[in-house]
Amino acid sequence: MPNTPDSPAVKHYLLGLQDRICHVLRETDGGADFIEDVWERPGGGGGRTRVMQQGAVFEQCGINFSHVFGERLPPSASAHRPELAGRRFEAMGVSLVSHPLNPYVPSSHLNVRFFIAEQDGAAPVWWFGGGFDLTPYYGFDEDAVHWHRNAQAACAPFGADLHPRFKQWCDEYFFIRHRQEARGIGGIFFDDFDQGGFAHSFALLQSVGDHYLPGYLPIVERRWATTWGDRERAFQTYRRGRYVEFNLVYDRGTLFGLQSGGRTESILVSMPPEVSWRYDYRPEPGSPEAELYARFLPPRDWLDEQTG
């Protein structure tokens, strides 16, 4: 039947996506390789974690595949679907966070995932979720326009309404409420997606996963050799603190992993390797650091403005 979920097909795609991204990022870095940990979860399932550290381009890059089972959906997964609380679940996904060494190269995040919630006597409830977003430390209009144009292309085959909706969802989701500022310049984000049946929804997930590298690599290649010094590094490590705050306080994937008894080292591989906090820091007016706050962090329609 067209709406019957095909977990093996999703798993096959996700494992292949992890392999492809690791290969390309390894070639891009040229100075380091991924180490791999294959792990099992006591409650059911497992995964493989791959981490690159101290590379020529990437200070740290972690990409996880996980496929886990459980008897009860954790609160983070059922918060928006309370009618599913208490059901058995199967969850699988690929998540990636890259933290480049050069402050002029943005950090990036990708997540694509699939859930099934089951209960005796009831039809399984399934959905897809994920997206990607970009966290620059120094903003460039050219990069922002390229990133959002690529995100629009990922959604285009599935309806003109999806990109505006997913962009707004991303802007709202990756907002650090206790700071009243965005984590970065956004991208696309979606959850609880089952529109058009399984094949249609799965095709959207694949499009999002497949568009990550075309969005990110041109930016990395433009910026990785830019000269930088202590000032830029200090600002980069300060802004990375916002990444930590968001992931530990708000991120649903991090919370799901911790609440479901996932592997802590794999869950927290998204954290940047070097971070700093400074009390009541305020960038110098008119500086490139101030421009990040004034021009790049407030949500905006980069494609409509055609700023590039």
Query: Three-state SS for 201?
Result: helix
User: How many whole angstroms separate alpha carbon 79 and alpha carbon 99?
Assistant: 30
The active-site residue out of 12, 23, 80, 109 is 109
CATH fold, domain 7-296, is oxygen-dependent coproporphyrinogen oxidase (3.40.1500)
Q: How far is CA 238 from the centre of its chain?
A: 20
Q: Binding site for a divalent metal cation: what residues are annotated?
A: 99, 109, 148, 178
Instruction: Tokens for 288, please give them.
Output: 């490139």
pLDDT attached to residue 1? 45
User: How many whole angstroms separate alpha carbon 34 and alpha carbon 99?
Assistant: 14
pLDDT attached to residue 82? 63
Q: Binding site: what residues are annotated?
A: 95, 99, 109, 111-113, 148, 178, 261-263
pLDDT attached to residue 2? 58
109 is catalytic: yes
Backbone dihedral region for residue 210 (phi beyond 0: left; psi -120 to 50: alpha; all else: beta): alpha
CB 220 within 8 A of CB 259: no
Domain extents for the chain? 7-296
The residue behind tokens 């099934």 is 116
The residue behind tokens 């005796």 is 120
User: How many whole angstroms separate alpha carbon 152 and alpha carbon 48?
Assistant: 30
Tens-of-pLDDT digits for all 308 residues of the chain?
Answer: 457 889 999 999 999 999 999 999 999 999 899 999 998 888 788 999 999 999 999 999 999 999 998 777 666 665 666 666 667 888 999 999 999 999 999 999 999 999 988 776 677 789 999 999 999 999 999 999 999 999 999 999 999 999 999 999 999 999 999 999 999 999 999 999 999 999 999 999 999 999 999 999 999 999 999 999 999 999 999 999 999 999 999 887 788 778 777 778 888 888 999 999 999 999 999 999 999 999 999 999 999 865 44
Handedness of CA 143, 144, 149, 154 (dihedral sign): positive
- Name the strands in the sheet holding 58-70, side by side, starting at the edge strand that comes first in the sequence: 35-40, 45-53, 58-70, 88-100, 107-118, 125-135, 186-193
Q: Binding site for substrate: what residues are annotated?
A: 95, 111-113, 261-263
Neighbours of 200 (CB within 10 A): 16
